Amino acid sequence: MRLPVSWLYEYVEPEMDPRDLASRLAMTGTEVDRVQMHGVDAIEHFVIGKVLTCEQHPNADRLRVCTVDVGEAESAHIVCGAPNVAAGQTVAVARPGAIMPDGTKLKQAKLRGEPSEGMILAEDELSIGQDHAGIMVFDDGLPAGRLLAELFPLQTAVLELEITPNRPDCLAVYGVAREVHAATGSPLKPAPWSGIDLGEATGIDGVSITVQDPDLCPRFTAVAYENVTIKPSPRWLKQRLSAAGQRPINNVVDITNYVMLLTGQPLHAFDLDRVAGGALTVRSAVEGEEVQTLDGQIRRMPGEGGIIEDAEGPTSIAGIMGGSRSEIADDTTRVLMEAASWNAPRIQSTSLKLALRSEASSRFEKGLSPEAAIEAQAVVVALMEELAGATRVPGLIDVGGPGPAPLVIGVREARVRSLLGVEVPRTKQAEVLRALGFGVADTGHGLDVTVPHWRRLDVTREADVIEEIARLAALEVLPATLPGGRPGAKLTWPQIVRRRAEDVLVGRGVQEIAGWSFAAPGLLDKLRLPEDSPLRRVVVLENPMSEDDAILRPTLMGGLLDTARRNLARGVEHVAVFDSGTVYRAWPDSVPPQERPSPADEHHGLGVLLVGSPQPPTWRSPKPPPADFFAAKALVGAVLDTLRVPWDVRPANDWPFLHPGRSAEVVDGTGARLGFVGELHPLIAREWDLEGGATFAIDLGKVTALAAEVPVYRDVTTFPPVRQDLSLLTGEHSAAEVLAVVRAAGGKLLRDVRVFDRFERDAVVSLALHLEFAAGDRTLTDDEVNAVRDKILAKLAASGVTPRG
Amino acid sequence: MIDRIEELERQATAAIDEATTTVALEQVRVQFLGRKAELPNLLRSVSDLPPQERGAVGKRANEARKALEAAIGERVAGLEATELDARLIADRIDVTLPGDPPQPVGRLHVLTQTRREIEDVFLGLGFSVLEGPEVETVHYNFDALNHAPTHPARGRTDTFYTGDGDVLRTHTSPMQIRAMEQYPPPLYVIIPGRVYRRDSDATHTPQFHQVEGLAVDKDITLADLKGTLLDFSRAIFGAEREVRLRPHFFPFTEPSVEIDVSCFNCKRNGEPCQVCKGTGWLEILGAGMVDPNVFAYVAEHGYDPEEIQGFAFGMGIERIAALKYGIPDIRTLYTNDVRVLEQFG
């Protein structure tokens, strides 16, 4: 809402400059986006002039060269391009030094060789209208040199207000004036409608109004005028409308806009002679029925919308936009002025579905009181008489009447204190509430507060009244305290596990990224996922930002691959990145709705992608090898070992985006799956313009459940372990199979076993194992250790694994 | 005989003193104390002497041998130390070459780092950290938070809907309701997490992160909200900060306020401040006292609005990070350009 300050000052004039006023309003709940100047500046350079001579420009067909008396000893030479300029006219002149609305400063100039000492003005050049058809011509009685600013306002500060949706009463000059009054204490002049009585609702001869749907239209008022002359509005009114962001049209339409801006209540003016049958009916729309609006568009109505129709059919979409058939025309002489109140949710929903918003609908959709309709009608009367020469036709139509009796809310003083944490004297509470227009009665332990009609929807409970007290009397004196009952707090175990897992990767040189939750549906194909893949059970968005963001990611892989490609394209030589975030799937049918803790199956994933060497080339190793399966496996191991989660990998081929011979599932100690590790499938690498890469991803939720929150102490010094190495020829067996045999045979006394060397010669694979034997209650003897070792060798031999050499 | 022993000792001592390397010293040792040297032979042949001489000669020879051995040992230690010094000085590397193998540096994303900072501040203030689902029901996201059925935020131009009629949560506030359903008062929690709105420009991305705060107890006041967020602001933006409360409107708080923190950038130089645009204040979050209508949705879980009261707030992690680190366009944070990311964390 654009609020011209000069207009505001007509009702309340705080002694502060517009910027200070803006700050004060902001601190009491009316946000001010900007303070702007509207119009021209250096106004002493804008004067009345008399055109003495007007001749054709020697070098330009469309220009004239004029001499203009501007009240000084010497007349001014001014080049003018307006078609209507003529000798003898009284005109408005901007002299050199004048600052135009766009901020440029007028200078002496030469136009096609002719000097020009100023400018003869059209309305748009003063920002008081759009009219650029010709210069303004004034009454000849005005003397040359008279300051233009004495005739009508040339400039005003404008506050651009951001009105919160609960305060439609502040989408009005007088509504803001009331706020300014409460916020500054400056006296408030009476409302522009006060003291005006429209008389009894006796009806109007020749006009009939029927409201078929009172839910849609709680109140419909109409006043008729005759002898109306349609013409442009006076400049003071045009200037106000322009400053408020409204385009002046003609006097009657301008009156409706002016009164709306002043009171907050939209109005509509019908050409009464074009209302077929003199009868208007307000009814619900039929779903799908078509209405032509003022702008010439055909609109298809939703069922909750409202229609105003006359004997020939729809003329307006209720509360949103009028129709062209009965709009004010240049030959209009009889006007029916409508001010109605409408069901806010129905207006909002209709406006949304029609994708049609207007100044009117943006007010009605927030809920205006029925009382406001009559207030607006009262303001219109004098303006119609003054600006359009109109005569009011006797009578008034008022269907529905005022709204319900005002609500009285009891406000307990103790509650005010306990909610705000500061004492606000009851007299102060009463003072600010009265300033806002509330009725106040002291009850001894608090206040009984009567809500004015313009706050009827917004203020319905004690807490709402306390908010009014808070914003005007408490916030600025509020102390800063801490709640007394705060318990101790720490992160939960899953939160600690997540941080630790992330920190392990960061400590090993992996950069965290933040991927998008959105993904393209095509990602699923690009990852080569089969039709029955569980990763295809995605959450689909109905209204994505674009088709490429139409699903939620079922895996972190897409974002990791995209990140790798983008960084490599920008010249980064190697990529080691991880994402720690939610992945989303639709629930399978096997989980019944009542067992679903949330609408989608969400879990927290940790995914890594390594492309290129994990280490940069150095002076000692100029060509470090690119990250492979084992680099990724080492990283996932570092994460899981740090968290003390028993883990292993098993060959598996369930991820079509991984190299089938170089991928595995990561499992816990019981063999349950935690995630995958592997090298990228060459086709995936090619799809993302990569030369390869290694990756892993694990479900952190599952990891959390396995991580030991409280480790148990183990004695490591009393009974030292015995260490031995074994070199084995492993035949066809994988390392994991050999270790499994060793562990099984080693029993309790084998505390640890690790592969520390592997080599292959002539297709024969040797593994070197490091064994550690220990018991918790004694130092093992050589005989005991040798017995276990022999048992291990025997079991290995049975599997075809023999000691080397 | 004794004279000869002493002569040998004199010769040997002089030779020891003259030896300048451990090799030369070893030659001296062999010459005077080796298996074929004269002194050891003298000692071995003491038994051949007449009995009255044996004692004196044997004793003197033994003394001489021990003295020489000690002198050699001492001289060896000295020479070895000198030689080691010389060897180590010759064994020189270029210490200015890079360390190797290199230890690549990883970093947290600036949003994770900022989130952790915020979490840690509130943990210190006694607030636990909760998380909740991102795909959320209309009930939790709007209805139970007192949004009118026609509230514009419900529109499909503002909010992402799934095919099943659920929404991507537009704020972390639905967890207020879920938390109160799950835990009885007193409740002091923050809820960080990812949220979604259909918006994209330099200060908005369709996904972003919020931290919700909720404190419900018997006597929580608006002044407590101010104090809590003052502590927070000082921890994050510096000990000199002040906060102010500006009235605002949110459907699920009453009274509602926006919180401004005094600008941390203004005094850095004399120029007009670009961070706060010269206002001296930065808007950081929306907050207020929990609306009684919200408590009404969870009244059966012990939240009777006549018995308890509380405050709630919600802040944007991107906004806090952008302010703190001077990031001009938050969309940069999701392009995941490592050259940007490695500046933080």
Among residues 195-214 of chain B, which lie with CB inside 8 Å of chain A? 196, 198, 200, 206-207
User: Phi first, then psi: what are they for A293, rounded to 5°?
Assistant: -95, 170
CA distance B288 to B252: 8
User: Rounded to 10 degrees, what is the CA torsion of A7, A13, A14, A15?
Assistant: 110
Q: What is the CA radius of gyration of chain B?
A: 42
Q: Please report the pLDDT score of residue B269 as a whole number.
A: 60
**Do B205 and B82 lie in a common domain?**
no
Using the beta-carbon criterion (under 8 Å), do B128 and A492 form an inter-chain contact? yes
Q: Could you say which of A485, A545, A598 has the minimum Cβ distance to residue B217?
A: A485
Residue B327 lies in a domain: yes
Cβ of B160 under 8 Å from any chain A Cβ?
yes
Which pair of tokens denotes residue A455?
């706050």
CA A535 to chain centre: 32
Q: Which of A339, A337, A340, A274 is nearest to A311 (CA)?
A: A274
- φ/ψ of residue A197, rounded to 5: -110, 120
Looking at this protein, which amino acid is placed at residue B330? I
B171 and B315 assigned to the same domain:
yes
Contacts for A308 with CB less than 8 Å, ≥ 6 apart? A280, A281, A282, A314, A315, A316, A317, A318, A338
- Do B36 and B67 lie in one domain? The reply is yes
Mutation site for B-interface testing, chosen from A163, A545, A546, A603 by largest number of B Cβ within 10 Å: A545
Q: How far apart are CA A683 and CA A660, in angstroms?
A: 12
Phi, psi (deg, nearest 5) at residue A740: -60, -40
With the CA atoms of A325, A326, A327 and A331 taken in that order, what torsion angle do they form, in degrees rounded to the nearest 10?
100
Of B41, B58, B90, the residue at which a domain comes to its end is B90
Is B271 at the interface with chain A, CB within 8 A?
no
Q: Which residues of A fall within a CB distance of 8 Å from B338?
A: 511, 567, 572, 575, 577
Short-list A512, A453, A485, CA closest to A168: A453
Instruction: For an interface test with A, give the residue of B95, B109, B136, B256 to mutate (most A CBs within 10 A).
Output: B109
Minimal Cα–Cα distance from B228 to chain A, Å? Answer: 6
Nearest to A542 among B163, B194, B245 (CB): B163
Does residue B105 lie in a domain region?
no
Instruction: Read off the tokens for B40.
Output: 């050891």
Are B136 and A598 a contacting pair at CB < 8 A? yes
Distance from the A725 Cα atom to the nearest Cα atom in chain B, whole angstroms: 28
Picking from A481, A489, A511, the nearest residue to B338 by CB comes out as: A511
- Of B24, B56, B90, which closes a domain? B90
CA distances from residue A46 to A94, A138, A150, A719, B250 in whole angstroms, order as listed: 5, 14, 10, 103, 47
Residue A347 CA to residue A167 CA, distance in Å, equals 17
Alpha-carbon distance of A577 to B56, in angstroms, equals 86
Low-confidence ranges of chain A (pLDDT < 70): 132
For residues B31 and B115, membership in a common domain is answered with no
Distances (CA, A) of B238 to B3, B210, B241, B243: 90, 21, 6, 12
Establish how many alpha carbons lie within 13 A of residue A560's alpha carbon, considering only the half-sphere containing its beta carbon.
32
Report CB contact under 8 Å: A620, B249: no
3-state secondary structure of A460: coil
Please state, in angstroms and as integers, the Cα–Cα distance from residue A688 to each residue in A680, A683, B68, following that order: 10, 9, 80
From A783, A760, A788, A759, select the one nearest A772 (Cα to Cα): A788
Residues B64 and B117 occupy one common structural domain: no
Specify the CATH number for the domain of residue B321.
3.30.930.10
Residues B226 and B126 both lie in one domain:
yes
Q: Chain B contact for A164, CB < 8 A?
A: yes
B 42-61: CB under 8 A from A: none
Q: Which residue of A has its CA nearest to B160?
A: A543
Q: Which residues pair with A282 in a beta bridge?
A: A211, A308
DSSP per residue over A280-309, as a string?
EEEEEPPTT-EEE-TTS-EEEPPTT-EEEE
Predicted confidence pLDDT, tens digits, chain B (345 residues) = 788 888 888 888 888 888 888 898 889 888 888 888 888 887 888 888 888 888 888 888 888 889 888 988 998 898 899 889 999 999 999 999 988 888 889 999 999 999 999 999 999 999 999 999 999 999 999 999 999 888 889 988 999 999 889 999 999 999 999 999 999 999 999 999 999 999 988 889 999 999 999 999 999 999 999 999 999 999 999 999 999 999 999 999 999 999 999 998 886 666 778 888 888 899 999 999 999 999 999 999 999 999 999 999 999 999 999 999 989 899 999 999 999 999 998
Task: Give the per-residue pLDDT at B265.
Answer: 83
- Contact between chains at A502 and B112 (C-beta distance less than 8 A): yes
CB contact under 8 A, A576 and B336: no
Nearest to A419 among B98, B155, B289 (CB): B289
Residue A481, chain B, CB below 8 Å: the answer is yes
Do the beta carbons of residue A758 and residue A768 sit within 8 Å? yes
**Cα–Cα distance between A315 and A292 in angstroms, integer?**
8
Mutate to test the interface with A, among B146, B249, B294 (most CBs of A within 10 A): B249
B118: left (phi over 0), alpha (psi -120 to 50) or beta: alpha
Could you tell me if B114 and B261 lie in one domain?
Answer: yes
Find chain A residues with C-beta within 8 A of B221's C-beta. 418-422, 481
Q: Is A648 exposed, middle or buried (0-12, 13-18, 19+ CB in 10 A)?
A: middle
Residues B153 and B72 in one domain: no
How far apart are the C-alpha atoms of B89 and B83, rounded to whole Å? 10
Residue B56 lies in a domain: yes
Of the candidates B133, B188, B215, the beta carbon closest to that of A598 is on B133
Measured in residues, chain A has a length of: 805
Are B116 and B79 contained in the same domain?
no
What ipTM was reported for this prediction? Answer: 0.87
Inter-helix orientation angle B222-237/B317-325, to 10°: 40
Same domain, yes or no, for B192 and B234? Answer: yes
Q: Closest chain A residue to B138 measured between Cα atoms?
A: A599
Which residues, in sequence order, are bridge partners of residue A697?
A: A607, A676
The count of CB pairs under 8 A between chains A and B is: 264
Who contacts A516 (Cβ-Cβ below 8 Å, separation ≥6)? A549, A553, A559, B207, B334
Report if residue B104 sits inside a domain.
no
Answer yes or no: is B233 within a domain. yes
First to last CA, chain B: 86
Tell which of B22, B56, B90 closes a domain: B90
Phi, psi of B25 (to 5 degrees): -65, -40
The encoded tokens of residue B32 equal 């005077």
Among A352, A490, A599, select the one facing B155 at the smallest CB separation. A352
Residue A79, C-beta contacts closer than 8 angstroms, at least 6 positions apart: A57, A63, A64, A65, A66, A111, A112, A114, A116
Residues β-bridged to residue B290: B253
**Could you check whether the bond before residue A218 is cis, i.e. omega within 30 degrees of 0?**
no
> Which parts of chain B are beta strand (E)?
128-129, 135-136, 167-168, 187-196, 207-217, 243-250, 253-262, 281-290, 309-316
Tell whether A567 lies on the interface with B, counting CB pairs under 8 A.
yes
pLDDT at B270 (0 to 100):
64
What spatial distance separates the first Cα and last Cα of chain A, rounded to whole Å? 92
Q: Which domain holds residue B37?
A: 2-90
Q: Tell me, yes or no, whether B95 lies in a domain.
A: no
B98 located within any domain: no
Q: Name the pTM for this structure.
A: 0.86
Share of chain A above pLDDT 90, in %: 81
Same domain, B314 and B195: yes
Report residue B144 as tokens: 């139970």
What does the alpha-carbon distance between residue A563 and residue A578 come to, in Å, rounded to a whole number? Answer: 10
Question: Are both B71 and B115 inside the same structural domain?
Answer: no
Cα B223 from Cα B215, distance rounded (Å): 13
List the alpha helices (DSSP H) in A185-306: 235-243, 251-263
- For A74, counting Cβ atoms within 10 Å of its Cβ (0-12 exposed, 13-18 middle, 19+ buried), the class is exposed
What is the spatial distance between Cα A438 and Cα A614, in angstroms, rounded to a whole number? 71
Q: Give A132's strand partners.
A: none
Domain for residue B171, yes or no? Answer: yes
- Cis peptide preceding B255, ω within 30 of 0: yes
CA distances to A163, A184, A654 from A20, rounded to whole Å, are: 18, 11, 68
Q: Which two tokens stand for residue A478?
A: 């509020």
- Close Cβ partners of A269 (under 8 Å, ≥ 6 residues apart): A252, A253, A255, A256, A328, A335, A336, A337, A338
Do A4 and A156 meet the contact criterion of CB atoms below 8 Å apart? yes
Beta bridge partners of A269: A337
Instruction: Inform me whether the C-beta atom of residue B255 falls under 8 Å from chain A C-beta atoms.
Output: yes
Is A484 close to B334, i.e. CB distance below 8 A? Answer: no
Domain count, chain B: 2
Is A479 strand, coil or helix? coil
Burial grade of A348 (CB within 10 A; 0-12, 13-18, 19 or more):
buried
Q: Determine whether the interchain pair A575/B338 forms a contact, defined as Cβ–Cβ distance below 8 Å.
A: yes
Number of residues in chain B: 345
CB B314 within 8 A of CB B172: yes
Rg for chain A, CA atoms, rounded: 41
B:212-251 residues touching chain A, CB 8 A cutoff: 215, 217-224, 226-228, 230-231, 243-249
